[in-house]
Chain A
C-alpha cells in the first residue's frame, strides 16, 4: 500500500495523529484535574468571589 514511499507517508500520518491526540488528551486531563481542584475548594467552603461584592 502507498507505494515505495509508505515509510514516509505512514509516519507523517502517525505523527499528526499523535500530536493532535496527545494535545487533546492533555487538555482533557488538565480540565479534569482543574475541575476536581475547584470542587475541592468549593467543598472546603471557599467562595469564588470576594465577599464584598
Chain B
C-alpha cells in the first residue's frame, strides 16, 4: 500500500519538476530554431516573385495562412491536454491546456487581423462574412470563453476538469460548426470570395509558406513551454504560500 502511495506522489510532484528541468534546456533551443526559421521564412517570403493576380499582397498570405493553421493546431494541443486531464488526471496536462489557450487566442486574433488586412485590397471590405473568417471568429469566441472559464475559479485545480470537459465538447462540435458555416456561406454567397482557392500553388509561394508555418509552430512551442513553466512556478508559489499560512496557524494554535 505504501508503495502505491509513494508512486502517486511521484506522479504528482516529480513530473512537473522533471518537466521544469527539460523545459529549461529545451526553451533556448526551441527559441533558436524559431528565430532561425522565421528569418529563413521571411527572407524567402520577401524574395518570392510578385503574384500575377494578387501583386505584393501575396506577402500577407505568408503570415496569414500559418496563423489560421496554428489557431487550429493549438486547439488540437488543448484537446489532447484535455484528454490527459480527464483520463489520467495529470497535473501537467492541465498546465499545458491553460497555457495554450491565450496563445490560441492570439493566433486566432492574428488570423482575423491579417485576414482583414488582406481582404481590404482584395475584396474591398475589411470584413467579409465568408465561411473561413466566420469560422475563425467563432473559434476566437470559443478561445475567449475558455480563457474566461479558466479565470473564473478561485482554486486553479478546480478549473482543470471544467476546462478539459468544455475544451473537448468544443472539439467535438467545431467540425459541425465549420461544416454549418461553409454550408451557410454557399447558401448566401455563391462562391464569390473563394477565388483564391487555386488547387495548385507554385513552389515559389509554397516553400516560403511552409517554412513560415514551421516557424510559427516553433514560436508556438517555445511560447507554450515558457508559459507552462510560468504556470508551474505560479502553482509552486501558491503551494508555498499556503503551507506557510498553515504553519503559521499551527504555531498559533499550540
Direct contact of A and B (CB under 8 A): yes
Judging by beta carbons under 8 Å apart, are B240 and A5 in contact?
A: no
Pick from B74-82, B88-96, B219-227 the stretch touching chain A. B219-227
Complex Cα gap A48–B50 (Å): 58
- Taking CB atoms and an 8 Å cut-off, the chain A residues in 1-50 that contact chain B are 2-6, 8-9, 11-13, 15-16, 19-20, 23-24, 27-28, 30-31, 34-35, 37-38, 41-42, 44, 46-50
Residue of B nearest to A4 (CB): B55
Q: Please indicate the chain A residues that have their CB under 8 angstroms from the CB of B113 in the complex.
A: 12, 15
> In the bound complex, how far is the Cα of B45 from the Cα of A16, in angstroms?
15
With A11-B117, A50-B243 known as contacts, the answer to whether A16 contacts B63 (CB < 8 A) is yes
Considering the complex, give the chain B residue whose CB is closest to the CB of A53: B9
Query: Which residues of B in the span 144-168 have a Cβ within 8 Å of any Cβ on A?
Result: none
Identity of the chain B residue whose Cβ is nearest the Cβ of A6 in the assembled complex = B56
Q: Give the interface size class of chain B.
A: 35 or more
B106 is an interface residue with CB less than 8 A from chain A: yes
Contacts of B36 in A (CB 8 A): none
Q: Is the interface of A mostly helix, strand, loop or mixed?
A: helix
- Per the bound structure, the CA–CA distance linking A37 and B102 in Å amounts to 23
Task: Please report the C-alpha to C-alpha distance between residue A21 and residue B46 in the assembled complex, in whole angstroms.
Answer: 20
Instruction: Report which of A6, A44, A47, A49 forms a contact with B13, defined as CB distance below 8 A.
Output: A49
Q: Give CA–CA (A53, B10) in the complex, Å.
A: 11
CA distance A16 to B114 in the complex (A): 8
One of A4, A8, A35, A51 near B117 (C-beta < 8 A): A8
**Restricting to B207-241, which residues have a CB under 8 Å from any CB of A?**
219, 223, 226-227, 229-230, 233-234, 236-237, 239-241
B109 at the interface (CB under 8 A from A): yes
Task: Judge whether B98 is part of the interface by a CB distance below 8 angstroms.
Answer: no
Interface presence of B21 (CB below 8 A):
no
Indicate if the CB atoms of A8 and B230 lie closer than 8 Å.
no
Whether B243 contacts A19 by the Cβ 8 Å rule is: no
In the complex, the chain A residue whose C-beta lies closest to that of B13 is A49
Does the CB pair A46–B243 fall under 8 Å?
yes
Given contacts A23-B103, A41-B237, A46-B240, contact A5 B223 (CB under 8 A): no
Q: How far is the CA of A53 from the CA of B7 in the complex (A)?
A: 13
B residues near A50, Cβ cutoff 8 Å: 243
Further 7 A-B residue pairs, CB within 8 A, beyond A4-B55, A48-B236 = A2-B56, A9-B117, A19-B110, A30-B230, A31-B233, A44-B244, A50-B243
Q: Top 8 nearest A-B pairs by Cβ distance?
A: A34-B233, A12-B117, A3-B56, A2-B56, A12-B114, A46-B244, A5-B121, A46-B240
- The 19 listed contacts between A and B (C-beta, < 8 Å) are A3-B50, A4-B55, A5-B56, A6-B56, A15-B110, A16-B114, A23-B103, A23-B106, A24-B223, A27-B227, A27-B230, A34-B237, A38-B237, A41-B241, A41-B244, A47-B243, A48-B240, A49-B239, A51-B247
